[in-house]
Amino acid sequence: MTALRRPLKALGQNFLVDGNIIAKIIRAAELTPEDRILEIGPGRGALSELLAQHGSWLTLVEFDHALAAALKERYAGNDQITVIDGDILALDLAGVLGAEPAAWKVVANLPYNISTPILFRLLELRGLFSRLVLMLQREVGERLVASPDCADYGVTTLLLGLWFDIRREFIVPPTCFHPRPKVDSAVLSFVPLVRPRVEVGDESVFRKVVKGAFAMRRKTLSNCLKAAELASPDEMYGILEQCGIDGKRRGETLSMEEFAALSRCLTTLQT
Ligand code: SAM
């Protein structure tokens, strides 16, 4: 291995240096010897080293060329470990992992600067995974498990929560990393659902309703949905009434079932 270069802030490089936390992440992944594991951003390989001792296949995707090269060197000759020098957001992940349903687990300490786009990428490909165990910035983690009426509740809560059972496993303080991030981190597990948690009609409509409702947090639901132009103002008024939802409420007070009801009505209107 070549000498270690300074961690790159632009790539969200906060490396895990606490063996207990690494062991807890591995436990949370509930690995079996048959598991195929995808690790996003293996970095210097702190997690990879233990992952390699558990599942059957391990695929590592690292964007930092120098770190990817070092991992390739370390695992040369081990044909159960594949190191990909690439950007997880640009990679044809379905092409790399294959189409077999629920065949993979994802375990990762994500680069925090791009954790939300990575979450949405994994959401798109959820059918390929049986479990995800991800370290995120605590604040992002709180949003994923938030309940209606609290400040963290929003678009990610609803869009990810529609398709995953999400559980906060544990909090990780900055002292467990080098260099230390300024914020706490959280490890969460995600189990994909076979069907959406609630029937939403057309899912693209559900996404538009949710995004529209949170686009202007201070405005009423009725004003937000009017601005989103999902239906004419009269139609929107009728739909809110049909769903028994007061348009003066704010988006953050609506449950997932209420968003789903709005989405079903709007879907019917569009067909
Ligand atoms: N897994 C290591 C650990 O826990 O010590 C490193 C985690 S560090 C928070 C995030 C890692 O993701 C870094 O190694 C960084 O280079 C890598 N990374 C950043 N952007 C990436 C991208 N677009 N695709 C793949 N890896 C990326």
**Residue range 238-246: mean pLDDT, rounded:** 96
Ligand 1: which atom is nearest the Cα of residue 43? Answer: 14
Amino acid at 242: Q
What is the predicted ipTM?
0.99
- 235 CA to middle of ligand 1, Å? 47
**Percentage of the residues of the chain whose pLDDT score is greater than 90:** 89
Ligand 1 pocket test, pick from 6, 24, 40, 183 with the greatest ligand atom count within 8 Å of Cβ, gives: 40
pLDDT at residue 5, rounded to an integer: 82
Say whether 169 counts as a known binding-site residue: no
**Are residues 192 and 127 in contact, defined by beta-carbon separation less than 8 angstroms?**
yes
The CA 88 to ligand 1 mean position distance, Å, reads 10
Tens-place pLDDT, residues 208-218: 999 999 999 88
CB atoms within 10 A of CB 71: 24
Q: Residues 2-58: pLDDT tens digits?
A: 557 888 998 999 999 999 999 999 999 999 998 999 999 999 999 999 999 987 799
- Ligand 1: atom nearest CA of 90 is 23
Is 39 annotated for ligand binding? no
Q: Which residues pair with 11 in a beta bridge?
A: none
Distance 60 CA to ligand 1 centre (A): 10
Question: pTM score > 0.90 for this model?
Answer: yes
User: How much is the pLDDT for 4?
Assistant: 72
Convert the chain into a string of H (helix), E (strand) and C (coil). CCCCCCCCHHHCCCEECCHHHHHHHHHHCCCCCCCEEEEECCCCCHHHHHHCCCCCEEEEEECCHHHHHHHHHHCCCCCCEEEEECCCCCCCHHHHHCCCCCCEEEEEECCHHHHHHHHHHHHHCHHHEEEEEEEEEHHHHHHHCCCCCCCCCCHHHHHHHCCEEEEEEEEECHHHEECCCCCCEEEEEEEECCCCCCCCCCHHHHHHHHHHHHCCCCCCHHHHHHHCCCCCHHHHHHHHHHCCCCCCCCHHHCCHHHHHHHHHHHHHHHC
Average per-residue pLDDT for the chain? 95
Which protein residues touch ligand 1 with a CB less than 6 Å away? 11-16, 40-44, 46-47, 61-64, 67, 87-89, 109, 111, 114
CA–centroid distance, residue 245 to ligand 1 (Å): 43
Taking the centre of ligand 1 as the mean of its atom positions, its distance from the CA of residue 62, in whole angstroms, is: 6
Q: Which atom of ligand 1 is closest in space to residue 48's alpha carbon?
A: 1
pLDDT category, 270, cuts 50, 70, 90?
confident
Q: What does each C-alpha distance from 38 to 61, 94, 158, 186 come to in angstroms?
A: 8, 12, 25, 19
126 alpha carbon – ligand 1 mean position (Å): 21
pLDDT of residue 3: 58
CA of 231 to the centre of ligand 1 (A): 42
109 is in an annotated binding site: yes
14 is in an annotated binding site: yes
pLDDT tens for 80-126 read 999 999 999 999 999 999 988 998 999 999 999 999 999 999 999 99
Mutational pocket test of ligand 1: of 17, 64, 116, the residue with most ligand atoms within 8 Å of the beta carbon: 64
Is 128 marked as binding a ligand? Answer: no
Has 165 been labeled as part of a binding site?
A: no
The rounded distance, in Å, linking the Cα atoms of 235 and 269 is 9
The strand pairing partners of 191, in sequence order, are 165
